[in-house]
Amino acid sequence: MAKPADGGNLKSDRRYSNTRGAVAITAWAGVLLVALVVSLTMGRYGIPVGTLGTLLRLRASGAVPTDTALLQAYNILFLVRIPRLFLSALTGAALALSGAAYQNIFRNPMVSPDILGVTTGAGVGAAVGILISASTFFIHVFAFGLGLGAVLLVMLVARLVSKDRANTVVLVLTGMVVNALFQAVLSFTKYVADTSTKLPEITFWLMGSFAKSGNYANVRLLAVVFVVGALPLYLLRWRINILSFGDEESRAMGLNPRQIRTVVILCSTLLTATCASLCGSIQWVGLIIPHIARLMVGANNKYLFPVSILGGGAFMLVVDDFARTIPGELPVGVLTAFVGAPLFIYMLFRGKKELF
């Protein structure tokens, strides 16, 4: 008996999707690797490729260069540049993954990781820490705590308003209100800050930068948080796929939409709050990178999540390269806005049929 034509087409479409996803993941992994190698040579103190190879061989053998110029390049590479590059790549990967997860559960391609107030809350925490002259450690703690607290407040108010019914519209509206509230608190904090010392520091932090946070301790911290936050999202990828069709369809498949949505929000908030507490406010990454990934591999999270992670890491590396090479170092959050806004407009025209 011959197989139904539609069954054959379905298998063919699945094979095509799998092939396209595998090719995209491989390609973005290559782009990330190339971006990382090129980034090692770039900066206000350039390191030629030949010198880079020599330094890596010395590091692998455990030897320390005796030549003064080579020793200076060695210290810049391993004490400053490498931890900063890894931190920027992890930040881009975390923000892009959070954006992809949020866009799925809210079924809206205009959603970004800061829609529930995490970035604004982190900004308030950092501003308060700077205002009271807290140490760098406590500034990070305040930023993380208030970023996480803002999202928990949104979830609590939304649950009370919707009377235990899962309602993404109420979540988004509550997020807008909490965002506005924390923005008002942030504006007041800037208003009372000393204009010659505190205000410039608050402003610089809010623009986002890896200049002060690029160290191995922060890399280790973000790497652990990335695994803790990303692993549940990837394990829930097929459930998030179903959730993107709507709550009724999810319940018909035996899933609990509220439970899945809560886990996704908490994992994404953990990733975003950690990035914001360490590096300041860096926007657009979680909005545009998932768009690009979705246009390349479709909406299946089996491929969307890995491509978003790799694409976010590569994008942030390239943006930070420009930030590091510009005299005076432009904050990376400013560059992501300059690059992200025009690119997002282009993506809207390029992929409007697929996205809407």
Q: What is the pLDDT of residues 325-350, one digit of tens each?
A: 887 778 888 888 888 788 777 767 76
Contact 122/95 with Cβ under 8 angstroms?
no
The residue with greater pLDDT, 348 or 73, is 73
Q: Which residues of 35-62 are buried (b: 16+ CB within 10 A; e: fewer)?
A: bbeebbebbeeebeeebeebbeebeeee
pLDDT of residue 2: 42
- The span from the CA of 276 to the CA of 147, in Å, is 8
* pLDDT surpasses 60 at 356: no
Q: Closest Cα to residue 269, out of 89, 120, 86?
A: 120
Q: Which of 34-38, 63-67, 257-261, 339-343 has the highest mean pLDDT?
A: 34-38
Q: What is the pLDDT of residues 78-113, one digit of tens each?
A: 999 999 999 999 999 999 999 999 988 888 777 888
Q: What is the pLDDT of residues 182-221, one digit of tens each?
A: 999 999 999 999 988 899 999 888 888 898 888 999 999 9
Residue whose structure tokens are 């904090």: 189
Count CB atoms within 10 A of the CB of residue 175: 25
- The span from the CA of 276 to the CA of 206, in Å, is 9
- The span from the CA of 106 to the CA of 100, in Å, is 10
pLDDT of residue 21: 84
Region 4-16: mean pLDDT is 53
Both tokens of residue 81? 């540049």
Q: Which stretches within 193-256 are classed as H helix?
A: 198-207, 216-235, 237-243, 247-252
Q: In 26-176, at which residue ranges do the beta strands (DSSP E only) sit?
A: none
Q: What is the pLDDT of residues 111-122, one digit of tens each?
A: 888 888 899 999
Region 58-86: mean pLDDT is 89
Q: Which amino acid is at 297?
A: V
What φ, ψ does residue 269 adopt, rounded to 5°?
-65, -40
Model-level pTM? Answer: 0.89
pLDDT of residue 44: 83
* pLDDT surpasses 60 at 33: yes
* pLDDT surpasses 90 at 255: no
Q: Closest Cα to residue 236, out of 222, 257, 213?
A: 257
Region 259-272: mean pLDDT is 92
- The span from the CA of 213 to the CA of 229, in Å, is 20
Structural domains for the chain: 45-355 (1.10.3470.10)
- The span from the CA of 48 to the CA of 35, in Å, is 15
Q: Which residues of 215-226 are buried (b: 16+ CB within 10 A; e: fewer)?
A: beebbebbeebb
* pLDDT surpasses 80 at 166: no
